[in-house]
Structure 1
């Protein structure tokens, strides 16, 4: 439904905070993401039990979130014999997710790579019941995450975060590139794509299964994307970031892609 969006890009923490003399073995973060028809609150914690947070070693992560979203779709008539025409329906959904991941950080010169794997649960409670969607109810699956951070010269940097969970086949990818206009302040651009099992049905992905209606083949990958700019301020022990931009999503049969603004704020602290 385009909300998968938010699940993976929320946990992107592959920043390159400078090492200090004192070990900092915990990171805690919280944030919010909102657009015209969806909002999500999330929080999480990462532990580095046997090394400093930005040194090579084992990392443990737990996170979760809750949000709501609305969407409209054309569905078959409730009584085809009396009225065979399709009808427009509006749905309201409550969603939640939680995950516990085990990972490892490695450094390759200016490149920092983190990989995580573990169980995740994603739930969508939709009202009224949407008989045409495959993304409904709670589903438990295995999640994998890859986060890359690259220093480009003294002030430039880039990041790429990708994840996939077998829970509702939820996948996401986000790329960022930034430039430190001051030692602690970065400006940059970002782009992301987020899709789940219903999105795969709508795009007619060959590997998608369980698609329930003809309306599930009406979108392109870009309809589940977002692009914008961000500002990132590096605190003494963490960071604060704000992103704004536009995202697309399409649920109707008229061929029109709706464009909506979005905003994301994230605060992270380390100790």
Structure 2
């Protein structure tokens, strides 16, 4: 990756009722894009509105983080939904966040699937097509974020959508370039210094070290730090500092 600028995103708006998850206010001072939950895996209307208002105040771009309908499992359980239902669910979630964003003085510029749905559409053509159909039917100007070399990326580009390849700062990679399942040891990284150095290397060389020690090429226009990861603010700060020190500008990929 030899870009002069890169986006830094985080999953936000994931608190629910009396339960607070993550530090949205601090993260919004560090990232350039916010993947905001849409109520299916996390987030309630008043909390989402508050996060969107903070994003607007920080001039951070907003994306709809759509999910399987799985509040209890935080969207991390794989569901075999019929394609027609998945398309409707994605349209519903984007529409809800668009309304809240409008009320907050901002707008939704992209879509990023969450959790099990994100990983499923890397390889599942039917479910990937259902997600792509949701954007095509609702608003083809929306960008779609996902893993490089994925089925959903191929289908999105075939339909004329803008596909934005993503790298994960705090997740381990398999030698095939996919994410190590969270059920496996070492899937989530926690050392802010190590994570920052990994992303610096990605920015300068376009590579990351996989879980088996091999070097894999990775193209990314945006880098994700999970807002619910312990120490997320410190991790995001280290990643941001390393990217800036590498000579890149932190900027959103959509206005």
Tell me the TM-score normalised to structure 2 length.
Answer: 0.30
Q: Which has the larger radius of gyration?
A: 1
- When you count helix as a share of all residues, which structure comes out higher? 2
Q: Higher relative contact order by CA 8 Å / sep ≥ 6: 1 or 2?
A: 2
What is the TM-score when the length of structure 1 is the normalising length? 0.29
Higher share of residues assigned strand = 1
